[in-house]
Structure 1
Amino acid sequence: MRISEIYRSGTFGLSVEIFPPKSESGDAELFRTLEDLIRYQPAFVSCTYGAGGSTSKRTIELCDIIQKQLQTTATAHFTCVGSTREQLLAWLQEAADVGITNIMALRGDPPKGAETFVPADGGLKYASELVTLIRENFPDMGIGVAGYPEVHPEALTPQADLENLKRKIDAGGDAVYTQLFFNNEHFYRFRERCGQAGIDCPIIPGIMPITEFRRIQRIMSMCSSEFPADLVNRLEAAQDDLDDQFEIGVEYAINQCQELIDSGVPGMHFYVLNRSQACKRIFDALGWHEDQA
């Protein structure tokens, strides 16, 4: 199912995001995770695209396996990093040839150590240009784009960030998938501002369950999101007990997700970090029982 079709019927769209493992043991863990999570019938599984395009071929391979062996729609992440226009088109053709019908179109992060994004010679500079490239050359592709409830760290102003998002939707984006956040008020304000700006596509909150305090601290430091003080205090008190951290994170995610559902979100996108235990607990608590989602 294409992204453009998922949310039309009013059916809640659950989706999960994985990354390409770097080892055989990682592959085995990933497919155990996928076998657990596809029982909840996600609308799609998305697969990230490594830094600098380092796993671009692997992304296509994993999406192909997900669709053919697991019988679940896949969405391939795709960035502008390190590629000419011709290379981008060649990658898109390869993805289309194996039956991928959804792309998550992203600019991509600057190379490690670089402060700003510099496009490759003959490449693209903005995600909106990538969306245009996809829509003009592969008009039937479903296209997801990224949104930032707490503002992209490189944006000059919140308004400039919103205008950039509008360009991505106007270029052909079908739905917005947000950066992770832990304070729902940021999402509600973001959704309201999107509506005021004329962005009328589905806006899907991105959720990352906390399973380990140190790991989430590293992730949060990279995305400049607010970490609510009460949650930090509870996790710090349990920093010597991984089981307690896991329980605190799952409980928080269940409450966060229920509030978002009550607010009328059309779907939810989970950053699962190639592990299923936390998401299974959350999905069950929210009534998304296996094979009944």
Structure 2
Amino acid sequence: MTAPQAVRRVAVWADGDVRAVDPDEPVVTAFDQGLGRGDGVFESVLVTGGRTPRLEAHLARLHRSAQLTALTHPGDDAVRALVAAVVAGWPADVEGACRVFLTRGLGDGSPPTLLALLAAVPAETVRQRSTGIAVVTLSLGVPADFRATAPWLLGGAKTLSYAVNMAAQRHAHAAGADDVVFTSLEGRLLEGPTSTVVWAAGGRLHTPPPGTGILAGTTQARLFAHAEGDGWPTAVTPGTVEDLTAADAVWLLSGIRGAAPVTRLDGVPRGDAGLTQRVQELLTR
């Protein structure tokens, strides 16, 4: 098997051309707005079997994020070519995480920066799929419906401004947990720092409404589509932490990690009623 830690790739787009570069080669100026101000958007795409079977959903979300942040988008064909360049020859036996970054570049009407990074999926991410995660709930400090009427807060955009998200995960780690579920000021469920919340209750799969300003989950959308086709009803539900506590099962879903079952919530152990295998099987379709 190929050693995952030895495999890293970078590709850049400039002036309509795409090229793969050495992963240690500088590709972004220090004056790039994405670096200096976090002014950009991104997507993380799973590479499996040397391919990116879920790319189209991520292209659509990247477009939406660019629109919400008024970023110039070079077009889906440019992103497809960029991803193809960085994935070309990737070992089929190594799962990869391909991150596509689109920034405002130097600003003032200059071309955007578009690049892709590819590395092996971390072993800890793979572990969390199979053994589950401990989660704490943290308030995001905003009312559930506020971001829907405050476009300057960029609700629903997958931006590079992840400092708060990473700080929340560090807080969770310090508390002996793996991850976080954010709640609104009044206690409604929102999302994880890098994931979508899904729970099973009453014979249905549930997820919080996107009108709260959360990021629309590509993995959650795929799961719900396959679940409905498999006779498992789904619902968009304005839930609370109490709903997660009473649920048959809870998962955090993301494109790279897939469905990670929550095995402990705010310090209290919980099970999954044997439903995780079904969820993970649905996501392989």
Q: TM-score, normalised by structure 1?
A: 0.26
Which of structures 1 and 2 has the larger relative contact order (alpha carbons within 8 angstroms, sep 6+)? 1
Q: Which has the higher strand share?
A: 2
Could you tell me the TM-score, scaled by structure 2's length? Answer: 0.26
Greater per-residue helix proportion: 1
